[in-house]
Structure formats: structure tokens, C-alpha cells
Amino acid sequence: MPEELLFPQVCHIKIIADADEGLIRTAIELAFEISEKITVLTEGHHSQGGKYVTYNISVRVYSKIEMDTLDVSLRMIPGVRFVL
């Protein structure tokens, strides 16, 4: 039987996206607009060829629905490749 999640919970999110001129970053920041941010969105590593970049953020979520909605919102952003 799967372990039940307890809320509120801090989620540490890593996003892998196309590298661009900040358009994707702006869209990602907007997706977090209504979330309770624990850390600011930070840019992480770039791929060796410079095609991809990672973004990291921690947010507090208060329900599974909120967590799932945020995940779907991030995955719908054009240029976002993975949400971990």
C-alpha cells in the first residue's frame, strides 16, 4: 500500500527547459505566482552544448490537488522538457 502524503509539504522542484532569452523563465515564474515560495527560482546547470538549462525552486503545497495542478501547469509551458 502506498504511503500517504502529509500536508502541508515542501516540494523541491527541478525543471529542465530549453535555454532561451528568459521567456521560459518568465513563464515558470508565473506558474509559481500563487504558490508559497520557500526559495526563489534559481538557474542551475546548463547542458554542455548550451541547449538546456535547469531551474530549481522549493514551494510549500497544502494539498495533493495543489501539487498536481502546479506540476501540470509547469509541464504545459512550451520549452519545458522535464519537471522533477
Digit-by-digit pLDDT tens for the chain (84 residues) are: 778 889 999 999 999 999 987 899 999 999 999 899 999 999 999 999 999 999 999 999 999 999 999 999 999 999 999 999
Structurally, how many domains does the chain consist of? 1
Predicted TM-score of the model (pTM): 0.90
Whether 40 maps to a domain, the answer reads: yes
DSSP assignment letter at 7? S
Q: Which residues of 37-72 are buried (b: 16+ CB within 10 A; e: fewer)?
A: eeeebeeeeeeeeeebbbbbbbbebeeeebbeebee
Whether 1 maps to a domain, the answer reads: no
CATH number at residue 13: 3.30.70.1150
Whether 4 maps to a domain, the answer reads: no
User: What is the residue range of 13's domain?
Assistant: 9-83
